[in-house]
Chain A
Amino acid sequence: DVKVTQSSRYLVKRTGEKVFLECVQDMDHENMFWYRQDPGLGLRLIYFSYDVKMKEKGDIPEGYSVSREKKERFSLILESASTNQTSMYLCASSRLHEGAQYFGPGTRLLVL
């Protein structure tokens, strides 16, 4: 079974803090994705990566950065957290040319 894990299920941070969300997959998938999910807005892609050290912006990259130093790990970084980044963050992975994405359990982030 594909397994995607995320470092935290719940996270509370203060405005201005630097926040790291980590995602690890164990299926040797080339592609990894970070989404945020907000009520009424659905899933919005923040960044994705198709190889180590490679990244591409998604639909809403502002205020975020990512790092992929190893194939199995994809980190999302909020350089200076703001209250409008309070959201559910979902990580996913997939094979290079296959569409089915497999998701982690999600991280509910609250920025105060």
Chain B
Amino acid sequence: AQKITQTQPGMFVQEKEAVTLDCTYDTSDPSYGLFWYKQPSSGEMIFLIYQGSYDQQNATEGRYSLNFQKARKSANLVISASQLGDSAMYFCAMRRNAGNNRKLIWGLGTSLAVNP
């Protein structure tokens, strides 16, 4: 069965430092996609970054990068130079690229607090 695991319920980081949020996944599909979303206290889920299973390079999007280790089935989110506005819940999600490819499988999230 496909599954996303986020083992860190909460993380703290000092402003301006980098932080890594862990995500491991389980799938037997050869082709899949991995996503990270941010959910501030306001509630809206914000799409941050995407990595395809066949992408050769790790995805980057501004201060966000995805450390994709396919053999380890991990897709960790790295936030560089943390800002106070990065305090939020972060969710990792996976999509199958075959068959029913519309639905996402979600992790339970990691709460990140950025300290001034």
Please report A residues at the B interface, Cβ cutoff 8 Å.
31, 33, 40-43, 45, 48, 50, 58, 88, 90, 92, 94, 96-97, 99-106, 108
Contacts and interface: CB of A to CB of B under 8 A. Distances in A.
Residue from the set A45, A58, A92, A101 with the largest chain B CB neighbour count within 10 Å: A101
Given A99-B33, A99-B50, A99-B104, 5 more contacts: A45-B103, A103-B37, A104-B44, A105-B43, A106-B44
Given A42-B91, A48-B102, A102 B43 contact: no
Interface of B: 33, 35, 37, 42-47, 50, 91, 95, 101-104, 106-109
B43 A106 contact: yes
A97 B98 CA distance: 10
Given A99-B35, A99-B50, A100-B50, A88 B102 contact: no
Query: Which applies to chain A's interface (DSSP): helix, strand, loop or mixed?
Result: strand
A31 B102 contact: yes
Contacts of A100: 35, 47, 50
A40 B46 CA distance: 19
Contacts, number: 49
B45 A42 contact: no
B101 A99 contact: yes
A92 B50 contact: no
Pick the most buried of A40, A50, A96, A100: most chain B CB atoms within 10 A of its CB.
A100
Given A42-B109, A43-B91, A58 B103 contact: yes
Contacts of B103: 33, 45, 48, 58
Given A103-B44, A105-B42, A105-B43, A40 B108 contact: yes
B32 to A, nearest CB: 9
